A and B are shown apart, each in its own frame.
Chain A
Amino acid sequence: MILLWGLMEDAPMQMVFDALQRLEAPVFFLNHADLDETSADFAFLDEPTGTLTAYDQTIELDRVQSAYCRPYDLQTHEPSTRLDPPTPETVNAYLTEGILWSWAELTHKLVVNKPSAMASNQSKPLQAVTIAKTLFATPGTLITTDLGELREFWRRHGRLIYKSVSGVRSIVKELSEEDLPSLQRLDACPTQFQQYIGGVDYRVHVVGKETFACRVISTGIDYRYATTAVEAVDLPSSIRDACLSLTKDLGLSVSGIDLRLCDDEWYCFEVNPSPAYSYFEMSTGQKIADAIARLLVTGA
């Protein structure tokens, strides 16, 4: 039995579900939006045991061989009227979510991905420390509340971008003179600035020991928010191997790695532990969902 935990309207989840159906693998799909009606009764000692009940179906944890988790913030799926004060159903949803996360962390079975490993991109500079230990280059980075330091860093590099320090999704933007008024509030919070790196974007999805690389053709600073085209490409073997080992070093079995090739230098910006690979699969025909399904079935 393979546990899928997330939302069916989420394309990556839907595509893995479909791929598992094609493999005729037994699946238990737990809709995140139904956690308020789900019951978990787990015992933790070494390998967790117990039962999970939803949709009048009860499964034994012993039967779960692997799991693919893409849950969302419960607050975005809970009407505010149920949060203040929380209804019994809402309390049940949060409690059940916590129990499932504990299981995902503590089980010896394959979980794509473990919560502690997924948290590796909650601090981008901390994740960059791991990236910097590979053969990938990383852009010059300054985190500061000091306008004078920022001006000096800007003068040195000519062009800068700024983006969030945390895993909170933010649009990467180039720093311009128009930003100067808002920089007067730079002392409110340490803010991350990076040397602008030109070149061509690549997105690499790692699934177990397989890699799927795309070249991203975009004129945007942040290709996620620009008109883009993507095409499947083969990576040099050294870069492919570096993607595999970086994913492993971060404790992940599936990842989405953002690279940029600039003057024969491969820069790595970020590793996404829960990649929305569906856009790339639909654009290139790469069989990423099939690979995730195989990984879940074989466990390796």
Chain B
Amino acid sequence: MVIASVVDEAARSLVDRFARGAATLLTPHDLSVAGTRVSAGAFSDGILATREGVVRFDQVTGVVTLIPCVYPEELVHITKENRTYVASEMTAFLSYVLAELPCPKLNAPTTTCLSGPGWQQEHWVTLAHRSRIPVAAVTRRSRRLPREEVPELAATTLTVVGDRVVGSRDEVLGACATRLARAAGLDLLRMSFDRQRDGSHRFICATQFVDVMGQEVSAAIVRYFEQRRAS
């Protein structure tokens, strides 16, 4: 199950990469379809009704989530004065369902974000530092203070998908990337490293928002779920 915005073409192309019928797209609009139900104490009997059909919770074998929350602006079928409230309700519902689905999740939800931790750079840098990955401290200043000049650096971008690292063959970087993803409890994470004058790398930032349009990344996602389904 791929959870994404209704306007996310990359999500649709990711669904199309799976074998026919193996993946389904769930958008916030699908949460406005009659037939969804879930009962406390009988979670596995729950079903999601979508415009494409019915998805039974016990048939979901994997989830990747490409939205941090349901945005009110997307709910054009809901009256304007109710959109913010309905978006909060849908986000809370998805947060519960995604957390409780027992299947493999590339980016399990947290209390603050549907697709992982939803952290700022300072959170990632702190976690990287605590995971013994080279970093530089992040400075955050209010607008009233003079801005710090940050030099532009060439960055290497890697994406971790399960055990695979896409974007670099550098083993040291790959090991750092995998370690950070594990520390964050994520199987899907994109991160950037800069290159120092001595040739070493330093972690800059990470995000769980990954470009799934990329050939290598989307192939790795498909493989991730196929392998888990097979085992």
Contact = CB atoms under 8 A, between A and B. Distances in A.
Interface in A76-92: 88, 91-92
A261 B100 CA distance: 28
A38 B142 contact: yes
Contacts of A165: 89, 92-93, 96
A153 B42 CA distance: 13
A164 B40 contact: no
B34 A187 contact: yes
A128 B40 contact: yes
A45 B96 contact: no
A126 interface: yes
A146 B137 contact: no
Given A122-B95, A123-B95, A166-B89, A145 B140 contact: no
Contacts, number: 172
Interface stretch (B58-66, B124-132, B149-157): B124-132
Given A106-B122, A166-B89, A188 B32 contact: yes
Nearest to A188: B32
Given A44-B139, A189-B32, 20 more contacts: A37-B144, A39-B141, A39-B142, A40-B142, A45-B129, A45-B138, A46-B126, A46-B130, A88-B143, A96-B142, A99-B141, A123-B95, A123-B111, A129-B99, A143-B93, A144-B36, A189-B86, A189-B89, A189-B93, A190-B38
27 contacts: A37-B144, A42-B122, A42-B139, A46-B130, A116-B112, A119-B111, A122-B92, A123-B92, A126-B95, A128-B40, A129-B100, A132-B41, A141-B41, A142-B39, A145-B31, A145-B32, A146-B35, A146-B36, A147-B34, A167-B88, A186-B34, A187-B34, A189-B90, A189-B93, A190-B38, A190-B89, A190-B93
Interface of B: 31-41, 49, 78, 85-86, 88-93, 95-96, 99-100, 110-112, 120, 122-123, 125-126, 129-130, 135, 137-145
